[in-house]
Amino acid sequence: MAHSPDYVTTVYFIRHGIAAERGTYLDDNQRPLIEKGIRKTEKTAQRLLTLRLRFDMLLTSPLVRAVQTAEIFCQAGLTQNYQVFKPLAPNGSVQDWLDWLGAWQSVDPMSLALVGHEPDLSQWAQLLVQGSIDNRWVLKKAGIIGVTVPAARSALGHSQLFWLAPPRLML
């Protein structure tokens, strides 16, 4: 079922949980969540459940810490559908994601979660809402930005911020 141009998708930008310190792994892509990061991410997931939040799809960066965060959200029951999405790796392309979003919006979705990294996630959210990046938005580890997004082709500068929450507000 194709949607009208005013169709809106709810997108949640979620930063991965607290991971091992930089430099502790030869390959930064392999840094896992630490125990504290796992616990806080689990608490955030449980809090989102109490808010009756669910995602039709969750896309995650291929980096270990992001995949672990996505798996925690899936295990909590926030979504049954998740996939690794390379453009969510650091320095990924927002245009690649918008292309994906345009195709996905035509399938009748409502809610999407993106698990990734800073500064990319807050910059992508800024582009959607403001149409430009000023780097004043900061997404803490396991924090969430919520944005309503119109049709992907007209999303930049035409989306609406409805949530910017550090993890401490979720615990």
The answer to whether position 154 is within a domain reads yes
Highest average pLDDT, of 94-98, 134-138, 150-154, comes from: 94-98
The answer to whether position 2 is within a domain reads no
Return the structure tokens found at 125.
């959210």
The answer to whether position 4 is within a domain reads no
Return the structure tokens found at 38.
């796992």
Using pLDDT thresholds of 50, 70 and 90, give the confidence band for residue 2.
very low
Beta bridge partners of 60: 84, 115
pLDDT tens digits along 92-128? 999 999 999 999 988 776 899 999 999 999 999 999 9
Conformational region of residue 156, where left means phi above 0, alpha means psi within -120 to 50, and beta covers everything else:
beta
Residue 79 belongs to domain with CATH number: 3.40.50.1240
Instruction: State yes or no: pLDDT of 3 exceeds 50.
Output: no
Write out 90-116 in H/E/C secondary structure.
CCCCHHHHHHHHHHHHCCCCCEEEEEE
Total tally of structural domains belonging to the chain? 1
Range of the domain at 55: 9-169
The answer to whether position 3 is within a domain reads no
Q: Say which residues have a Cβ less than 8 Å from residue 122's Cβ, sequence separation at least 6.
A: 13, 135, 137, 138, 139, 145
Q: What is the mean pLDDT of residues 53-67?
A: 97
Return the structure tokens found at 109.
């979705």
Q: Which pLDDT belongs to residue 7?
A: 60
pLDDT tens digits along 15-44? 999 999 988 887 889 999 999 999 999 999
